[in-house]
Chains A and B, each alone.
Chain A
Amino acid sequence: MSEDVLRLADVTKVYRTAAEEVHALRGVTMTVRRGEFLSIIGPSGSGKSTLLNLLGCLDTPTTGEYFLEDRPVHLLDDEGLASIRNSKIGFVFQNFNLLPRVSARKNVELPLVYSGFSRSERQRRAEEALRRVRLDHRVTHKPNELSGGEKQRVAIARALVTQPSILLADEPTGNLDSRVGEEIIRLLEELNTVQGATILLITHDLAIARRCRRTVEIRDGQILRDTAA
């Protein structure tokens, strides 16, 4: 049990609009173990974004249970979700989502601002995280002075800086050309194998998905296939 980073038990998610009910997830049960590098694939509308939002504690399930390191996420309020996102989750987005006006280091510091670290400690940890993604020479650059690959590496450093339980990457190569995308995937692989980070990747690129040791395929809000199962 201690090996499990997260555990979903029969999770559903229903969106109610005025006209209809949308069943985005229809009973998902899965477990992610520490040190895993897995991908979630599925066509658009399959529910993989909803699943990512739930895993990332941006949203809570309609029914079912979600334990993140034995913490019952499905019972947390807004404040509790914010705190768990801060300490346990690292997000990497397709479009980087960096703050445009501040330096790479300040971007990486951002999560630490909300965990109450001192300025000097934030700087130290942010620079350390930037070293881990080999961007120590770009510390003071602003996003518009960085290439796409560099931006994504800043975003990865930001996701790593709090030493989260899991790194959630949503189409991390989607806005990059294939050569740079390959670099990012290699970096994620390295973080997984060398530094032991648990990484969950959402993609529709089967070539990338095939490189993960485990692939979970989602369709119509249910798990269609799980190579670990």
Chain B
Amino acid sequence: MDGFVDALENIFSNPMRAFLTMLGVIIGVFSVVTLVSIGEGARKYVTDQFSGLGTNVLIITPGKSQTSGGAPMTGTSGTRALTADDARALAQRCPSLEFVSPVILGTAAIKTGNRLRDSTMVVGTTHEHQMIRNIYADVGSFLPKEEAQGNKRVCVLGRNVVKDIFPHGENPLGQYVRIGGTRFQVIGIMERKGYSLGFDIDGLVWIPLKAAEQLFDKDDLFEVLARARPGQLEQAKSEIRRVLMTRHDGYEDFTITSQAQMIESLAKILDVLTYAIAGIAAISLLVGGIGIMNIMLVTVGEKTREIGVRKAVGASRRDILWQFLVESLTISGVGGLIGVAVGVGLALLVHAVVPSLPVLIRPWTIAVSFSFALAVGLFFGVYPAKKAAELDPIEALRYE
């Protein structure tokens, strides 16, 4: 403890030199803390988003994203759209699927009287959509089942849409709104959900599938969402593949993605990011360590006489070694603490300035980066400390 206090006094007898020595470690530690906190924030955000989907959810999209070794698709037999009939076939012929929900996506202007909300995302879908996405109408009701939709012109509004087109707090239920020029009656309002999968859920409008086909004049689907019965995910995948390939002349011109796959592929991206950060950190800590070694060698040179005196009055090699190791550890430790403080501060600042950038400061981030700083101090402190410890007291005392 005495050694630590002495080392602190020593280091701060020349604050500028101390600061410059620590700078490499400070930069290394604070960049790790800040970047990892942002990375962890992103990871948690992504994981939360997909976890909200539920582990049994499958997303079927048109087009093939992964080739599985079959003959290359050529000419007219290329990507075929997914249709509402495909979705119906899945619902009927895949026993391991609990729910199936076709999705048509478009944008339209929403109008009431004198209020207008431009380019609003409109989702054409069916009743099952809410069970699969796990979002429910908390006022009124959601869309009816497909067979009960008929030609009904009804809609369910997200909270932000309500706020924009009914700004005075009127009750929207039963009111009529114009979506892309067509009149729809409001039958429900969705619970507040924020962002999910990159969509502002609160800014969406839901209408029946048939109405969306007519509104956007297309019958190809954006995706089909499906939920497998518990424990039957793999079975569901093969059923979907079989049913759709039968309907698509034997071509697998669609992609089935599970939540686990999506989390996995995003996690891979985030892992690469983490390695990159670790690389940056390693380099700057290395540079910081060399800085510490450099200054410790200077210090040993400056203190040659002092080392001689200490040895003359009874300091052993181990005492001297320890004295200089404590000093380099103190430099790196104080640098590490400053780095942690700056890193945490910067991460919080980033989050305050850009709230949509999620930040997650984990205790292990701080612990690991601080430990690395100490390790650097120890590693690069050993050589100068050994040099000091090996000094011959007679020559050290004679040193001018």
Tell me, rounded to whole Å, the shortest Cβ–Cβ distance linking B13 to chain A: 6
Residue contact A85 to B397, C-beta cutoff 8 Å: no
With a cutoff of 8 Å between Cβ atoms, the chain A residues found around residue B313 in the complex are 85-86, 91, 110-111, 114, 158
Question: B388-400 vs A: 1/0 string, CB under 8 Å?
Answer: 0000011001000
Residue contact B394 to A91, C-beta cutoff 8 Å: no
With a cutoff of 8 Å between Cβ atoms, the chain B residues found around residue A85 in the complex are 311-314
Tell me, rounded to whole Å, the shortest Cβ–Cβ distance linking B393 to chain A: 5
Task: Select B314's contact among A53, A59, A114, beta carbons within 8 Å.
Answer: A114
Residue contact B314 to A79, C-beta cutoff 8 Å: no
Question: For chain B residues 291-311, which have a beta carbon within 8 Å of chain A?
Answer: 305-306, 308-311
Residue contact A99 to B309, C-beta cutoff 8 Å: yes
With a cutoff of 8 Å between Cβ atoms, the chain B residues found around residue A78 in the complex are 316-317
With a cutoff of 8 Å between Cβ atoms, the chain B residues found around residue A86 in the complex are 313-315
A contacts with B, residue count (CB < 8 A): 25
With a cutoff of 8 Å between Cβ atoms, the chain B residues found around residue A192 in the complex are none
Residue contact B310 to A58, C-beta cutoff 8 Å: no
| Residue B319 CB within 8 A of the other chain | yes
Residue contact B309 to A83, C-beta cutoff 8 Å: no
Which chain B residue lies CB-closest to A111? B313
Residue contact A79 to B2, C-beta cutoff 8 Å: no
Task: Select B394's contact among A58, A111, A113, A114, beta carbons within 8 Å.
Answer: A58
With a cutoff of 8 Å between Cβ atoms, the chain A residues found around residue B314 in the complex are 82-83, 85-87, 111, 114-115, 162
| Residue A101 CB within 8 A of the other chain | yes
| Residue A56 CB within 8 A of the other chain | yes
Residue contact B397 to A82, C-beta cutoff 8 Å: no
With a cutoff of 8 Å between Cβ atoms, the chain B residues found around residue A82 in the complex are 311, 314-317, 319
Give CA–CA (A82, B316) in the complex, Å: 5
Give CA–CA (A56, B316) in the complex, Å: 15
Residue contact B305 to A97, C-beta cutoff 8 Å: yes
With a cutoff of 8 Å between Cβ atoms, the chain B residues found around residue A79 in the complex are 316-318
With a cutoff of 8 Å between Cβ atoms, the chain A residues found around residue B311 in the complex are 58, 82, 85
Give CA–CA (A82, B305) in the complex, Å: 16
Residue contact B2 to A56, C-beta cutoff 8 Å: no
Known: A82-B317, A93-B397, A113-B2. A56 touches B312 (CB 8 A): yes
Give CA–CA (A53, B311) in the complex, Å: 12
Query: Which secondary structure dominates chain B's binding surface?
Result: helix
Give CA–CA (A207, B9) in the complex, Å: 44
With a cutoff of 8 Å between Cβ atoms, the chain A residues found around residue B2 in the complex are 113, 119
Question: A85-123 vs B: 1/0 string, CB under 8 Å?
Answer: 111000101000111010000000011011100010000
Give CA–CA (A33, B308) in the complex, Å: 28
Which chain B residue lies CB-closest to A93? B397
Known: A82-B311, A97-B309. A114 touches B397 (CB 8 A): no
With a cutoff of 8 Å between Cβ atoms, the chain B residues found around residue A110 in the complex are 309-310, 313
With a cutoff of 8 Å between Cβ atoms, the chain A residues found around residue B397 in the complex are 93, 97
Tell me, rounded to whole Å, the shortest Cβ–Cβ distance linking B52 to chain A: 60
Give CA–CA (A158, B312) in the complex, Å: 11
Tell me, rounded to whole Å, the shortest Cβ–Cβ distance linking B14 to chain A: 11
Residue contact B308 to A114, C-beta cutoff 8 Å: no
Give CA–CA (A110, B314) in the complex, Å: 9
Tell me, rounded to whole Å, the shortest Cβ–Cβ distance linking B303 to chain A: 9
Give CA–CA (A110, B315) in the complex, Å: 9
Tell me, rounded to whole Å, the shortest Cβ–Cβ distance linking B270 to chain A: 50
Give CA–CA (A194, B148) in the complex, Å: 117
With a cutoff of 8 Å between Cβ atoms, the chain A residues found around residue B10 in the complex are 101
Give CA–CA (A99, B9) in the complex, Å: 13
Question: A27-61 vs B: 1/0 string, CB under 8 Å?
Answer: 00000000000000000000000000100101100
Give CA–CA (A133, B397) in the complex, Å: 24
Residue contact B312 to A99, C-beta cutoff 8 Å: no
With a cutoff of 8 Å between Cβ atoms, the chain B residues found around residue A115 in the complex are 314
Residue contact B310 to A53, C-beta cutoff 8 Å: no
Which chain A residue lies CB-closest to B1? A119
With a cutoff of 8 Å between Cβ atoms, the chain B residues found around residue A83 in the complex are 314, 316
Tell me, rounded to whole Å, the shortest Cβ–Cβ distance linking A49 to chain B: 9
Which chain A residue lies CB-closest to B6? A102
With a cutoff of 8 Å between Cβ atoms, the chain A residues found around residue B394 in the complex are 53, 58-59
With a cutoff of 8 Å between Cβ atoms, the chain A residues found around residue B319 in the complex are 82, 114
Which chain A residue lies CB-closest to B309? A97
Give CA–CA (A158, B309) in the complex, Å: 11
Task: Select A99's contact among B306, B315, B316, beta carbons within 8 Å.
Answer: B306
Give CA–CA (A158, B314) in the complex, Å: 12
Give CA–CA (A71, B305) in the complex, Å: 28
Give CA–CA (A162, B312) in the complex, Å: 13
Give CA–CA (A113, B348) in the complex, Å: 45
Tell me, rounded to whole Å, the shortest Cβ–Cβ distance linking A183 to chain B: 23
Give CA–CA (A58, B307) in the complex, Å: 13
Residue contact A114 to B316, C-beta cutoff 8 Å: yes
Give CA–CA (A84, B310) in the complex, Å: 13
Give CA–CA (A119, B5) in the complex, Å: 13
Task: Select A58's contact among B306, B312, B318, beta carbons within 8 Å.
Answer: B312
Interface residues of B (CB under 8 A from A): 2, 9-10, 13, 305-306, 308-319, 393-394, 397
CB<8 Å pairs between A and B, sample of 9: A78-B316, A82-B311, A83-B314, A85-B311, A98-B309, A101-B9, A101-B13, A110-B309, A111-B313
- Nearest 5 pairs of A and B residues by beta carbon: A86-B314, A82-B316, A111-B313, A114-B314, A97-B309
Given A58-B312, A162-B314, list of 12 further CB < 8 A pairs?
Answer: A58-B311, A58-B393, A79-B316, A79-B317, A82-B311, A86-B315, A97-B308, A97-B312, A101-B13, A114-B314, A114-B315, A158-B313
